[in-house]
A and B are shown apart, each in its own frame.
Chain A
Amino acid sequence: MAVPAGSRRLDLWTVLTLAALAVLGIFVLWPLANVFTASFYGEFSGSLGLENYATFFGSGYFRRALWHSLFTSAMGTLLALALGLPLAVIAARYDFRGKAALRVLVLLSLISPPFIGAYAWIMLLGRQGLVTQALAGIGIGLPTIYGAPGIILVTALNLYPLVFLLVHGALLRIDRSLEEASLGLGRTRFQTFRSITLPLTLPAMATGALLVFLGVLSDFGTPALLGENYPVLATLAFTLFLSEIGGNPAMASTTSVVLVSVALVLILLQRWVASRRNYASDAINRPEILRMTGWQRLVFPAFAWGLMAIANLPLLIIVYTSFLETSGPVFLQSFSLDSYRQVFHLVRGAIVNSFAFSGMALALIVVTGSVVGYIISRRDTMLTRVLDTALMIPYVIPGTVLGIGFITAFNQPPIWITGTMAIIVAAYFIRRLPYMVRACASYVYQIDRSVEEASINLGAPPAKTFMKIMLPLMAPGILAGAVLAWVEVINELSATVVLYTGATSTMPIATYSQVLAGSYGPAAAVASLLILATTLSLVLFTVIGGSDRELTV
């Protein structure tokens, strides 16, 4: 329903829109503005100017971190494309057995956070790694996994699903008649693929690539565990800010601004490209499923299942080693529950915190996200468009940067929450709110306006109509958004690592610090708990989602 034109009263939805804008203003713009301003106050002189930027670009150390970030992000993106594209083509176009299982495995490798992957690969290929040791025993030396190669490998294996999901979807939406027309004009299958199919999936590919690039760029856990002497912007900002030997907030802010700028430039570039090539089409005829022939019958399944095995290997390794007896970083060959005992003894607080913080953040996300999702998809006003755009920002801001901004902004009145759990819950809430908003909005778009109007017409005021009609109809979207947000929030490391104190540690923090401390057993146990919490919510989602009554309007 359009807001009646000319009605001057502030209606419910306008008030809520303003409230949402205020929340974004306080928890996104204000912290960012603080970081931004801090970057212009000279590290030494304290005066306003470009001094910090001169330092940044004048020093080989900072320039190297920038280059490391760009290099690992670009290479990680390329590798993710090299893995995700062929898999998408195989899964979308060939008569391939076990596609359902493949989808689940792909999702699984996406939702397990990269720092868990990094840690598992250290256990396999690190200095003390199982594979490294075994091969060293027979005289074979492996190239190092620390530094760029490890970061690229781990992030690509974690993020290739983004390419897969987007391109797979695009391939299924290409109308079969387009390709048939090309074949009918005498082109071969390969020529058709190159001249018709690929160009049509290009926008999806570009979006996937962008998401991967941003993912690698803003990742903190992987370079923190694998980086060692290979600083990237995200880890550099963190160390500068919280260094034991006197932090350097000015340069941390400058590094953060550079990091955010790189992300912004990329997004603008992608938007510009996307706006020039837009082939929206609704597949009327789904594409033909081809039979694998000859070598394909061998190579395609081998590639797909091989990738699944490698990408999900970290999960297996971690769960397996969590049941091994350990002594420091060395795993012994006998099973025991010692690691779990230690964990429940040492970091019980972190486990409780994780569920408490995530639960609270999720509740906020669900309530706010469903209302905001409804507003931006139903009410088209200047304010709602501003809100829609503003919601993009938390998507883009790396967790480390948001964390630095939070500390800078909220360590004094009027909002003094640094060091409390409120600051962590607020960070979780604002970072993952966009997931919920998007998930809800896409559902609201599918609900006919007149259903809502019918309710109002029958006498239910707007708020009541929202509760009794819209909420039940949005339920599947809310559920999807909630699962996604939950998985992200409970595994959150990059902002928490800046914000936590001893009393507000979480499971990802516990994993991270146990790995750094070389206690691989307890680390594996906490990570296994995380994996369990993540996988369970996904299973729950599939079960509930499957039994849900089909709501067609």
Chain B
Amino acid sequence: MAAIGIAGLVKRFGAVTVIEALDLEVGAGEFFTLLGPSGCGKTTLLRIIAGFERQNAGDLQVNGRLANDIPAHRRDMGMVFQNYAIFPHMSVFDNVAYGLKQRKFSHREIEAKVSRALELVRLEGYERRFPDQLSGGQKQRVVLARALVIEPQVLLMDEPLSALDAKVRVGLRRDIRLVQQQLGITTLYVTHDQEEALVVSDRIMVMEAGEIRQLGSPREVYEDPANLFVATFIGTSNLLDGRVDRSGGVSGVQVAGARLDLPDLPAADGTELHLALRPEHLTILDDGPVAEGVVALEGVVELVSYLGSQSRIAVRVPGVAEVVEVEAPSAAPASASPPGRAVRLGFRPESAFLFAAASGERVR
């Protein structure tokens, strides 16, 4: 049984439709991430589930019960907000104990549960501190403990890490994932950071303008994007304009003066396409002959960015609007190319994602 079921959900603010007929199921114990650009409706969806907004149409079920009419304070969901929302006039202990007191636990139980929760988020010994004596990361841990300690049916997190600096963010997201797996708690997580989504999620729902663009595991959305939006929103993609070429026996695509053989293309001759190529699928070729099945493009190195073990080499290719980014080990000779050097890029046609230029849908 799904922990959360959403059917035909519509949300409008005045005349603006923010969410249009959304269907969704989240399994029990799943870490489910809503990922999408700013303003696409992630927060709105989360707030509808939490009961802070009401949908204009559609149903929300939680663990098999219809939840449409349950007021926010009876939904039994733990929520973690972007800007902490810590109670500034209460100690860490009182913050975490707040929901427990509401649930009329005994003193002994409250103390035991609070200290267990603080242990879980690695804040033992901070009980007596006040929020103004905590760092941003610590505040967010308190708020996480506050949400977890009530053992909610669902944990809701709205960009819980976006107010923190990069290093704290990486540490805390690992902790969030570990705690979630340890407790097996169904989690809905909102972020617009695609890397974060890939790292923590069981499944990701990529949203654009209130609609689902793809729903799948991190591996699926990265390695098998359903459309151009997902391919460019998640990870880096080099975009090349191409055209279906059915002249000759086997179907193919004309790109930047080269022809890629791609048998069985389900598209008419002359169809405009976008090719998306991940940087790691491109290589800088050495001077020898090109291997069987590899397509080569001529270009000129514009800039090499050193990223540690890997480097990004930006190559200007005639006939391609944007520079093409190539990833190579920093130790490789290509990573030492001076700007202006002529190089050849190589890739295998089957590694490219093909999208219809008109609709953005995946062709192959």
Contact = CB atoms under 8 A, between A and B. Distances in A.
A151 B287 CA distance: 99
Interface of A: 1-2, 4-7, 448, 450-451, 453-462, 464-465, 469, 472-473, 549-553
B54 A5 contact: yes
A21 B71 CA distance: 26
Nearest to B48: A4
Interface in B63-100: 71-79, 81-83, 85-89, 98-99
Interface of B: 50-54, 56, 71-79, 81-83, 85-89, 98-99, 102-103, 130, 132, 143, 146-147, 150
Given A2-B53, A5-B56, A453-B52, A473 B89 contact: yes
Contacts of B83: 448, 450
B52 A460 contact: no
B52 A454 contact: no
Contact of A457 (B54, B78, B88, B89): B78
A5 B71 CA distance: 13
Contacts of B150: 458-459
Contacts of A464: 102
A456 B54 contact: no
The 10 tightest CB contacts between A and B, nearest first, are A4-B54, A458-B99, A450-B85, A459-B102, A454-B85, A450-B81, A457-B79, A456-B73, A472-B89, A451-B85
B87 A469 contact: yes
A6 B57 CA distance: 10
A455 B87 contact: yes
B72 A7 contact: no
27 contacts: A1-B52, A1-B72, A2-B53, A4-B51, A4-B54, A5-B53, A5-B54, A7-B54, A451-B87, A451-B88, A453-B81, A454-B79, A454-B87, A456-B52, A457-B73, A457-B75, A457-B79, A457-B147, A458-B102, A458-B150, A459-B150, A460-B73, A460-B102, A461-B71, A469-B87, A550-B132, A552-B88
A459 B73 contact: yes
A553 B88 contact: yes
Contacts of B77: 457
Contacts of B86: 451, 454
**A448, A450, A549, A552: residue with the most chain B Cβ atoms closer than 10 Å:** A450
Given A6-B54, A454-B81, A473 B73 contact: no
A553 B89 CA distance: 9
Contacts of B51: 4
A550 B82 CA distance: 22
Contacts of B88: 451, 473, 551-553
A454 B54 contact: no
Given A457-B72, A457-B79, A551 B103 contact: no
Nearest to A5: B54
Contacts of A551: 88-89
Given A451-B86, A451-B87, A454-B79, 9 more contacts: A2-B52, A2-B53, A454-B81, A457-B50, A458-B102, A458-B146, A459-B74, A472-B89, A473-B89
A461 B132 CA distance: 26
Contacts of A459: 73-74, 76, 99, 102-103, 150
A456 B150 CA distance: 13
Contact of B79 (A6, A453, A462): A453
B306 to A, nearest CB: 36
B137 to A, nearest CB: 17
A551 B78 CA distance: 25
Q: Is the interface of A mostly helix, strand, loop or mixed?
A: loop
Nearest to B82: A450
**B56, B83, B130, B143: residue with the most chain A Cβ atoms closer than 10 Å:** B83
Contacts of B85: 448, 450-451, 453-454
Nearest to A447: B88
A433 to B, nearest CB: 26
A552 to B, nearest CB: 6
A6 B99 CA distance: 28
Contacts of B75: 457
Contacts of B99: 458-459
A448 B158 CA distance: 15
A211 B51 CA distance: 44
B100 to A, nearest CB: 9
A6 B54 CA distance: 7
A462 B73 contact: yes
A495 to B, nearest CB: 38
A551 B87 CA distance: 10
Contacts of A458: 73, 78, 98-99, 102, 146-147, 150
B121 to A, nearest CB: 16
B80 to A, nearest CB: 9
B205 to A, nearest CB: 22
A2 B47 CA distance: 11
A472 B89 CA distance: 7
A331 to B, nearest CB: 53
A458 B155 CA distance: 11
B143 A454 contact: yes
Nearest to A461: B73
**B71, B74, B79, B85: residue with the most chain A Cβ atoms closer than 10 Å:** B85
A2 B98 CA distance: 23
A6 B69 CA distance: 11
A455 B78 CA distance: 10
A549 B89 contact: yes
B53 A4 contact: yes
A532 to B, nearest CB: 33
Contacts of A462: 73
Nearest to B158: A450
B253 to A, nearest CB: 49
Nearest to A449: B85
Nearest to B143: A454
B132 A456 contact: no
Contacts of A469: 87
B247 to A, nearest CB: 58
Contacts of B78: 457-458
Nearest to B75: A457
Contacts of A473: 88-89
A552 B293 CA distance: 63
Contacts of A456: 52, 72-73
A454 B52 CA distance: 10
Contacts of B52: 1-2, 4, 453, 456
A538 B74 CA distance: 44
A73 to B, nearest CB: 44
Contacts of A550: 132
A455 B146 CA distance: 10
A6 B58 CA distance: 13
B89 A455 contact: no
A1 to B, nearest CB: 5
A60 B99 CA distance: 72
